Amino acid sequence: MIVRIMGQGQYRLDNSLVDRINAIDNNIVYHVARGDQIEFRKDLIRLISAVKEKGKPVDDAEIVESAIIVPPEDLTFEEAQKIFSGHGLIKD
């Protein structure tokens, strides 16, 4: 699976990691729904870190479609309310 982190490139993730990424995504949806900006920020950073640590960078010369697009770390809470609702980034 290819995951793009906005402004940081694409990463190739093993499909076995989708559940871990989805769990973090679901936590972010929960925090945003509750208005918990602190926990939202922590989990967004955790999501980005997990992709970068577990994924393999895709070469910039390789053109591949991203299955998931993760917003940047500096995403505002107001922007997050539009993105992290319902199912979040990963559609179950």
Return the domain boundaries, the chain: 2-83
Pairing of strands 68-70, 9-12: unpaired
- pTM confidence score: 0.90
pLDDT digits (tens, 9 = 90+) for 43-62: 999 999 999 999 999 998 99
Q: Which residues neighbour 37 within 8 Å (Cβ) at sequence distance 6 or greater?
A: 31, 77
pLDDT confidence of 92, banded at 50, 70, 90? low
Q: Percentage of the chain surpassing pLDDT 90? A: 86
pLDDT at 87: 77
